[in-house]
A and B are shown apart, each in its own frame.
Chain A
């Protein structure tokens, strides 16, 4: 149980928990791990996902409509951990569900579930005092987002306060697939490397094997989100785990 990227590039797979249902999300996560995912980012669905594009918005809406709660997501995190002790596991959430549960209780429950770390989409370093203290107290890795628009002084703070890896946003924008990576992606990784020896994962718009290969040339890992969530959307629930497994296996082909 740790975040490590042994093959190059590493694969981080994002899933919106509860879409189509919690048990299927768990099975998809296991299939992704068995087919080469190094880290699973388990996304807590939120009613107002303002950093997300249409694909993850729709998945969140479906999962929220099913009544998926943060505590349910912690429940399947525990099951994934029990079934795959070696895999990396990150909880990915907007802030409000975490505040509602309570930062202290959330951190304790995340650690108890066996998560390695946490990424909060709308938490910036300056506001993170209590969050960082709770992550530390529970031996959890806080992963911050770094953006192409972040000046060096912010990248430095982001790198210094992250553990496990740093998540570099590949482009200016929201989540979603795209046809090719922009030059922003390699530039931000180069800039981040001045401040950290942590692995750097690149996400937002990384959708296929070609993108993964391109990311591998300058970063440690690729994060694939919307492409997977979209595949789940158009696949029958019973087939979803196998389909995602095949897709993930193909990403490093």
Chain B
């Protein structure tokens, strides 16, 4: 811990709209953790700040992102989809083509290299859809570190293939049966492990969530998405996009896709949450919904919008996509929501399922169910826009992992593919 940090241990912050210095996005973010973790968070923050400014760390990360993960990912003009919708030109940022099948590897690799640099031999992570777990297991295999992944038992059931992949890669997958047995419960269990083994363990948190420095660090590792996309769209279209669309669970792919466009006031930023199967609490994960949405509170270390009841108990959530099925949202999104810089909408389970079929059959691309929520929004939006408008969709992951659930949810017979009643 640096001496400048040490000098700052004094009551400063607040959960009311008073901005404290440490890791805040407007009034959101901060650090709300058991004291046992504070030394580890400060150690992590100092190590990350050092690594961030270290050219050799950045060079190693850039080399692996290029040669191991396959960056830069293409920005692909989806012509048939655009023509069929008859409005804006739709571009897909192909994070689904990355090694392990989703954007998650950008962050897992960054944090994995940081763990190595800090001399931590044991890595833990939580996972929802399993993509962050697979990415973390992959990085641990690559760097020779021990790996334990916490996953809700409900998610293990619906993302069975990813559980097998993680185990094949050498990770130990521990099922979590508490609560709704989904992402939130996996994070709590990972935090309990971290509290217990904090002296030897690095926690690779998979979304732009949790206590400072995680939301900032995770966003920084995903910034590469919008850094590349901005250059690519300028090359291909000679102008910035009209709007950038991304799905929002914790919000890591979205913040990565938005970040370099935040200062470009003319570029609309649209986050798409899980609308699930209805607007009643428990039926969705739309934290920013005007009806049935969340209110600011503290869950798992950060102050942000949280789906909860009027006594402050965290609500159950539902989404067909495990990766969006979470009661809170990254604090930077909460700030972008309140300031109006980004807008947040939702797509239902059925809309996402239909979007999978549409994209598969117009472009030959199978999106992850999470990413399909962003595609669903593009399908709604594009026809309302002019033909010279440019809609950029962050295709955060591929759908291979979802074959089990798709075969249950979709009736596919020849040319017909319908959502089962």
Q: Which residues of A contact B (CB under 8 A)?
A: 46-51, 53, 57, 61, 64, 69-71, 94-101, 103, 121-132, 144-151, 153-154, 156-158, 161, 169, 172-174
Chain A neighbourhood of B13, CB < 8 A: 126-129
Task: Sort A-B residue pairs by CB-CB distance and give the 9 closest, nearest first.
Answer: A100-B312, A97-B312, A130-B14, A127-B13, A147-B36, A157-B9, A69-B311, A173-B196, A153-B6
- Please, how many angstroms separate the alpha-carbon atoms of A129 and B9 in the complex? 12
Chain B neighbourhood of A169, CB < 8 A: 35-36
Q: Kindly list 15 other residue pairs between chains A and B, CB separation below 8 angstroms, not including A70-B312, A99-B297, A153-B9.
A: A49-B188, A51-B34, A51-B36, A57-B178, A61-B179, A71-B311, A96-B308, A99-B296, A127-B11, A130-B16, A147-B36, A147-B38, A154-B39, A157-B9, A169-B36
- Please, how many angstroms separate the alpha-carbon atoms of A132 and B9 in the complex? 14
Contact A127–B184 (Cβ < 8 Å): no
The answer, among A46, A51, A127, for a CB contact under 8 Å with B20, is: A127
B360 at the interface (CB under 8 A from A): no
The answer, among B38, B188, B298, for a CB contact under 8 Å with A99, is: B298
Given contacts A96-B297, A97-B312, A150-B39, contact A123 B12 (CB under 8 A): no
B280 at the interface (CB under 8 A from A): no
Contact B35–A173 (Cβ < 8 Å): no
B78 at the interface (CB under 8 A from A): no
Chain A neighbourhood of B311, CB < 8 A: 69-71, 97, 100
Residue of B whose beta carbon sits closest to that of A49: B188
- Please, how many angstroms separate the alpha-carbon atoms of A46 and B18 in the complex? 25
**Min C-beta distance of A134 to chain B, whole Å:** 10
Chain B neighbourhood of A70, CB < 8 A: 311-312
- Please, how many angstroms separate the alpha-carbon atoms of A158 and B36 in the complex? 12
Residue of A whose beta carbon sits closest to that of B301: A122
- Please, how many angstroms separate the alpha-carbon atoms of A145 and B8 in the complex? 18
Q: Is the interface of B mostly helix, strand, loop or mixed?
A: loop
**Min C-beta distance of A223 to chain B, whole Å:** 15
Chain B neighbourhood of A49, CB < 8 A: 188
**Residues of chain B from 31 to 47 with CB closer than 8 A to chain A in the complex:** 31-40
Given contacts A99-B312, A100-B312, contact A129 B12 (CB under 8 A): yes
**Min C-beta distance of B107 to chain A, whole Å:** 21
Chain A neighbourhood of B192, CB < 8 A: 50-51, 53, 174
Chain B neighbourhood of A149, CB < 8 A: 35-40, 198-199
Chain A neighbourhood of B35, CB < 8 A: 124, 144-147, 149-150, 154, 158, 169
- Please, how many angstroms separate the alpha-carbon atoms of A51 and B199 in the complex? 16
Contacts A/B (CB < 8 Å), 19 sampled: A48-B188, A51-B34, A51-B195, A94-B298, A96-B314, A97-B311, A99-B298, A100-B295, A122-B34, A124-B35, A126-B10, A127-B13, A127-B30, A131-B15, A145-B34, A147-B36, A149-B35, A161-B11, A172-B36
Chain A neighbourhood of B198, CB < 8 A: 149, 172
Contact A124–B31 (Cβ < 8 Å): yes
Contact A129–B11 (Cβ < 8 Å): yes
Chain A neighbourhood of B300, CB < 8 A: 48, 50
**Residues of chain B from 295 to 348 with CB closer than 8 A to chain A in the complex:** 295-301, 306, 308, 310-314
Contact B12–A122 (Cβ < 8 Å): no
Residue of A whose beta carbon sits closest to that of B311: A69
Chain B neighbourhood of A144, CB < 8 A: 35
Chain B neighbourhood of A161, CB < 8 A: 11
- Please, how many angstroms separate the alpha-carbon atoms of A198 and B195 in the complex? 26
- Taken residue by residue from 168 to 181, chain B's Cβ proximity to chain A (1 for < 8 Å, 0 otherwise) reads as 00000000001100
The answer, among B6, B18, B296, for a CB contact under 8 Å with A130, is: B18
B366 at the interface (CB under 8 A from A): no
**Min C-beta distance of B195 to chain A, whole Å:** 6
Contact B12–A156 (Cβ < 8 Å): no
Contact A130–B32 (Cβ < 8 Å): no
Chain A neighbourhood of B412, CB < 8 A: none
Chain A neighbourhood of B298, CB < 8 A: 94-96, 99, 122
Residue of A whose beta carbon sits closest to that of B3: A153
**Min C-beta distance of B214 to chain A, whole Å:** 15
Contact B313–A47 (Cβ < 8 Å): yes
The answer, among A100, A153, A172, A173, for a CB contact under 8 Å with B297, is: A100
The answer, among B12, B15, B314, for a CB contact under 8 Å with A47, is: B314
- Please, how many angstroms separate the alpha-carbon atoms of A184 and B323 in the complex? 39
Chain A neighbourhood of B197, CB < 8 A: 172
